[in-house]
């Protein structure tokens, strides 16, 4: 039977399978020659997609082994009210606006500053507005750490931005 956990695993597997088998071969070009030990451009998207596909299949396997009986300690919740739906839609619109803003701001300010602003917006939309010091610290440290890691380990170039305000740490 297709219960909620099985459906969730199926949707995850379908999403990452579509990305792995349909989108990456078409939209991520692979050069004919790759020098030295440099990873091909499709290595990280393939790695993430394979891991996501495996997690989706694993979720389906766990749901099937559970016998289809959902033993959840969470109380059954009723349908959301109109106010809850309105708040969810507003939050979704703000999240989409934050990502659109990232696309607009990244070429101007650079990847690092745009990532910090996007992380700050995501933390605030997730409801962490009561812990300002922690939110600001994470919004600065996480993008900085990711850029330093990928810039130094995989030598991934990040766009510095046309305004030249923030340095690219490549």
Task: Using a pLDDT cut of 70, give the percent of the chain over it.
Answer: 89
Q: What is the pLDDT of residues 33-47, one digit of tens each?
A: 877 777 888 888 999
8 alpha carbon, distance to own chain's centre: 17
Q: What crossing angle do the helices spanning 111-125 and 132-153 adopt, rounded to 10°?
A: 140
Q: What is the DSSP letter of 127?
A: T
* Dihedral angle sign, alpha carbons of residues 97, 103, 106, 107: negative
| CB-CB contact of 59 with 8 (8 Å) | yes
| CB-CB contact of 102 with 114 (8 Å) | yes
Nearest Cα neighbor of 155 from 28, 29, 38 is 38
Q: Name the phi and psi angles at 70, rounded to 5.
A: -85, 110
Could you count the other beta carbons within 10 Å of the beta carbon of residue 130? 7
Nearest Cα neighbor of 142 from 45, 128, 43, 37 is 128
| CB-CB contact of 108 with 161 (8 Å) | yes
Q: What is the pLDDT of residues 51-97, one digit of tens each?
A: 999 999 999 999 888 865 555 555 556 667 888 889 889 988 999 99
pTM of the model as a whole: 0.58
């Amino acid at each position: 039977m297709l219960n909620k956990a099985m459906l969730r695993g199926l949707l995850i597997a379908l999403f990452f399978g579509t990305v792995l088998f349909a989108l990456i071969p078409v939209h991520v070009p692979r050069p004919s020659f790759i020098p030295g030990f440099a990873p091909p451009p499709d290595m990280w998207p393939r790695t993430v997609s394979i891991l996501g596909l495996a997690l989706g299949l694993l979720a389906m396997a766990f749901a099937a082994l559970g016998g289809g009986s959902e033993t959840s300690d969470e109380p059954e919740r009723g349908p959301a009210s109109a106010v809850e739906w309105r708040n969810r839609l507003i939050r979704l619109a703000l999240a989409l606006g934050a990502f659109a803003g990232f696309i607009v701001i990244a070429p101007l300010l650079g990847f690092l500053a745009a990532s910090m602003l996007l992380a700050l917006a995501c933390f605030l939309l997730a409801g962490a507005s009561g812990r300002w010091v922690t939110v600001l610290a994470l919004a600065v440290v996480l993008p900085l750490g990711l850029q330093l890691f990928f810039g130094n380990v995989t030598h991934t170039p990040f766009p510095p931005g046309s305004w030249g305000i923030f340095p690219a740490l490549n």
